[in-house]
Amino acid sequence: MGGFVKKLIVVAFVLLAAAAVADEGMWLFNRPPRALLKQRYNFDPSQAWLDHLQKSSIRFNNGGSGSFVSADGLILTNHHVGLDCLQKLSTSSHDYVSTGFHAKTHAEEVKCVDLELNVLMSIEDVTPRVNAAVTPAMSTEDATRARRAVMNTIEKESADKTGLRSDVVTLFRGGEYHLYRYKKYTDVRLVFAPEVAIAFFGGDPDNFEYPRYDLDICIFRAYENDKPVHVDNYLAFNPAGPHDGDLIFVSGHPGNTDRLNTVDNLEFMRDYTYPFQLSTLRRREVLLETYSERSAENERRAHDQLFVIKNSRKAYIGLLAGLQDPVIMRAKAASEATLRQKVTGDPQLSAAYGDAWQTVHNAFEGYKPFMFDFRFLEGGTAFNSRLFGIARTIVRLADESQKPNADRLREYRESNIESLKQQLYSTAPIYDDLEIVRFADSLSQWLETVGPNDPTIKQLLADKSPNDLASELVRTTKLMDVAERKRLAEGGKAVVDASTDPMIRVARLVDPRARELRKKYENSVDEPLTQAYAKIANATFKTMGGETYPDATFTLRLSFGPVRGYVENGKQIPWATTMAGTFEHAAEHRNKEPFELPKPWVAKKAAIKGDAPFNFVSTPDIIGGNSGSPVVNRAGEFVGIIFDGNLQSLPWDYQYDDRVGRAVAVDSAAILESLRHVYAADNVVAELTKK
């Protein structure tokens, strides 16, 4: 699920839970919900417990979570988080996605082509320093610039001093700024993956559903200097898994939530953001399905992209349906009215924060007229092509490198260049036929939306059809070649300016207008929203009080809650499924794809303990990005791994509710059972269970 719900939303908003209900909350590790845990569960985690869990947790930079599970750097995550790596390592002759993978020795472990992992080492509150750089007298443009400058500077200082990846994270949408320092791993090797048929058993029909029967795991190992790393912090693997009712914790990287968005903001998402995203996703789904149907090799080439699209489409349909439900919107409106009344009733609060809601309203009204231009040109919806992305990065890198660090676009700041080049120089295969159909279709979508008289389209197409232009660009560019990318990127502005590569030419052609739109967006939408939401956040702090957490920002968070089933349409849904249920589920669907079990499962059926738990549900507050998060018990032991939320958890994006919403995890017992009896992965079992 959500690991891949990397929302296309450019606008991501403040969130802040005021009066947390039930076991709501994606808590900061430097501000854990001590009082809540003590009061509800009589649990009081030590600092060492928290530090150990924090440093055992891993962020997958492509959008998911994971954890260390052995002293020798063994890493557990979801198959769908590892899928990107599996896909990039596969070719038409060895397809790890469909056949799975198992390295019996370190020597057999295969290096991923462009994966970066981050482990959070420390958090520092830098709010005063960031806020000091921005004064109320500044124009929105100056404020944006000043804030970006101080953030870039803090990051560079920290990176220079510590050698760690250093990110200033905006929390409470500008209410606070924290400096996160990460240890980075870029040599990550594949150890084990099951077949996609069991990792994603039930496919799109079962995605976001429960009961489930998925072995959604993938095992990697971190290396440094060509050797497995030794880590002090890793999670002890509990072979039995959790029990019904157990308090458990989830430590992972939820990507984005919108819990305290104003009603205007939610309406904008309902009426503009989601419909546009869904229409883009649906057209890409049809495009890639059509492409995939043509041959088995096409299907293999598009597998990962298609998974991401279908997953997002299903999630967004659920999210949109929630916002179209008047019951939910009424509840949102009521809680907003309560907060605003409190603000209005207090002259001091009113003067400080009273205008925030109107500012949000105005920001979106101002955004509407250029939303499509912004999304297509700067957001890249018009250019659904890896080669174009590479060209844009090269062109911008040349320009941005000439500026002082403080003035650069965020993604080109010095502290990020290494990660950026890791992607730019990736040897992941690029298939020209797939590039052409994707690029042509996105150009056509842009043309259909803004019409042929748009000046940029006119100049770009220059009397060609989208199909012809895409085909010509992909076939003639030299950017397939990593060496050529390096030559240009390392050559600097003069070399890039001199390039006549057609894709570079196109990236250059659209860049002035794209940058102008970005500037307009930052000044007229993003900055006013930042300032308004900082006010709303502060108003909430002051009027609600208590322990609070900010909206998700793809930074490490701690969630908690019990393992617990639920009642759906009058039917009791048990806390866990069993291994035996997998075979029944397959039979109910006549063993037809995506309900067809891989051969080893059919062959080893008798050896598998039928009553062992397979997947289980619990109430911790998660969202897309939590995919692969370890589930730990009070003792801090690994008892499972999050891989999905049920359909009823989709609205958690804007409102948590644990009556029927649930996180879905693979049980640690099922992981052991499968590794032992289906895959005979004795080396992995030995390492996981080593005392």
**Contact stretch for a second copy (CB under 8 A) within 14-22, 125-133, 156-164, 271-279:** 271-279
- Least distance to a second copy, CB of residue 285, Å: 6
Using CB under 8 A as the binding rule, whether residue 326 contacts a second copy is answered as: yes
Number of C-beta neighbours around residue 348 at 10 A: 9
For tokens 């990507």, name the residue. 255
> 128, 136, 137, 463: which one contacts a second copy (CB under 8 A)?
463
Asked if residues 434 and 480 have their Cβ atoms less than 8 Å apart, the reply is: no
> 6, 156, 203, 609: which one contacts a second copy (CB under 8 A)?
203
In SS3 terms, 473-542 reads as: HHHHCCCCCHHHHHHHHHHCHHHHHHCCCHHHHHHHHHHHHHHHHHHHHHHHHHHHHHHHHHHHHHHHHH
**Pick 74 or 309: Cβ nearer a second copy:** 309
Q: Which helix (H) or strand (E) holds 167?
A: strand 165-171
**Pick 207 or 555: Cβ nearer a second copy:** 207
Using CB under 8 A as the binding rule, whether residue 451 contacts a second copy is answered as: yes
Burial of 110 (0-12, 13-18, 19+ CB in 10 A): middle
Q: Which of 340, 436, 348 is nearest to 388 (CA)?
A: 436
Measure the CA–CA gap between 4 and 304, rounded to whole angstroms. Answer: 10
**Pick 286 or 334: Cβ nearer a second copy:** 286
**Contact stretch for a second copy (CB under 8 A) within 63-71, 223-231, 312-320, 554-562:** 312-320
> 186, 335, 405, 444: which one contacts a second copy (CB under 8 A)?
444
Task: Tell me the C-alpha to C-alpha distance, in Å, between residue 631 and each of 53, 80, 249, 554.
Answer: 10, 17, 6, 18
- Least distance to a second copy, CB of residue 362, Å: 18
> 5, 86, 302, 320: which one contacts a second copy (CB under 8 A)?
320
For tokens 């990962």, name the residue. 304
Query: 296-323 and 432-450 helices cross at what angle (nearest 10)?
Result: 30
Measure the CA–CA gap between 278 and 643, rounded to whole angstroms. Answer: 23
- Least distance to a second copy, CB of residue 298, Å: 9
Map the footprint of a second copy across residues 560-599, applying CB under 8 A: 589-590, 592, 594
Q: Which of 577, 569, 20 is nearest to 244 (CA)?
A: 577
**Pick 106 or 361: Cβ nearer a second copy:** 361
Asked if residues 63 and 4 have their Cβ atoms less than 8 Å apart, the reply is: yes
Using CB under 8 A as the binding rule, whether residue 365 contacts a second copy is answered as: no
- Least distance to a second copy, CB of residue 461, Å: 8
Using CB under 8 A as the binding rule, whether residue 285 contacts a second copy is answered as: yes
Measure the CA–CA gap between 250 and 228, rounded to whole angstroms. Answer: 26
**Pick 295 or 476: Cβ nearer a second copy:** 295
**Pick 226 or 293: Cβ nearer a second copy:** 293
Number of C-beta neighbours around residue 132 at 10 A: 10
Q: Which of 690, 687, 689, 541 is nearest to 220 (CA)?
A: 687
Query: DSSP 3-state helix, strand, coil percentages of the chain (rounded to 5)?
Result: 50, 15, 30
**Contact stretch for a second copy (CB under 8 A) within 44-52, 456-464, 516-524, 667-675:** 456-464
Using CB under 8 A as the binding rule, whether residue 294 contacts a second copy is answered as: yes
From first CA to last CA, the distance across the chain in angstroms is 32
> 39, 91, 162, 279: which one contacts a second copy (CB under 8 A)?
279
**Pick 138 or 461: Cβ nearer a second copy:** 461
Using CB under 8 A as the binding rule, whether residue 352 contacts a second copy is answered as: no
- Least distance to a second copy, CB of residue 257, Å: 21
Question: Length of the chain, please?
Answer: 691
Task: Tell me the C-alpha to C-alpha distance, in Å, between residue 657 and each of 255, 272, 621, 661.
Answer: 18, 25, 9, 6
- DSSP characters over 551-567: PP-SS-EEEEEEB--EE
Burial of 337 (0-12, 13-18, 19+ CB in 10 A): exposed
Measure the CA–CA gap between 215 and 562, rounded to whole angstroms. Answer: 22
Using CB under 8 A as the binding rule, whether residue 467 contacts a second copy is answered as: yes
**Pick 411 or 432: Cβ nearer a second copy:** 432
For tokens 């990697």, name the residue. 220
**Pick 55 or 284: Cβ nearer a second copy:** 284
Using CB under 8 A as the binding rule, whether residue 59 contacts a second copy is answered as: no
Using CB under 8 A as the binding rule, whether residue 447 contacts a second copy is answered as: yes
Using CB under 8 A as the binding rule, whether residue 283 contacts a second copy is answered as: yes
**Contact stretch for a second copy (CB under 8 A) within 70-78, 233-241, 463-471, 574-582:** 463-471
**Pick 289 or 547: Cβ nearer a second copy:** 289
> 282, 342, 361, 478: which one contacts a second copy (CB under 8 A)?
282
- Least distance to a second copy, CB of residue 200, Å: 13
> 160, 325, 407, 472: which one contacts a second copy (CB under 8 A)?
325
Cα dihedral angle (34, 37, 39, 42), rounded to 10 degrees?
-110
- Least distance to a second copy, CB of residue 319, Å: 12
DSSP state of 661: -
Using CB under 8 A as the binding rule, whether residue 468 contacts a second copy is answered as: yes
**Pick 278 or 409: Cβ nearer a second copy:** 278
Using CB under 8 A as the binding rule, whether residue 407 contacts a second copy is answered as: no
> 19, 21, 132, 296: which one contacts a second copy (CB under 8 A)?
296
**Pick 468 or 682: Cβ nearer a second copy:** 468
Q: List the x/- string, 154-193, binding to a second copy by CB under 8 A.
A: ----------------------------------------
* SS3 state at 255: coil
Using CB under 8 A as the binding rule, whether residue 204 contacts a second copy is answered as: yes
> 448, 472, 568, 584: which one contacts a second copy (CB under 8 A)?
448
Q: Which parts of this chain interact with a second copy (CB under 8 A)?
A: 203-205, 270-271, 274-275, 278-279, 282-283, 285-286, 289-290, 293-296, 313-314, 320-321, 324-326, 444, 447-449, 451-452, 461, 463-468, 589-590, 592, 594
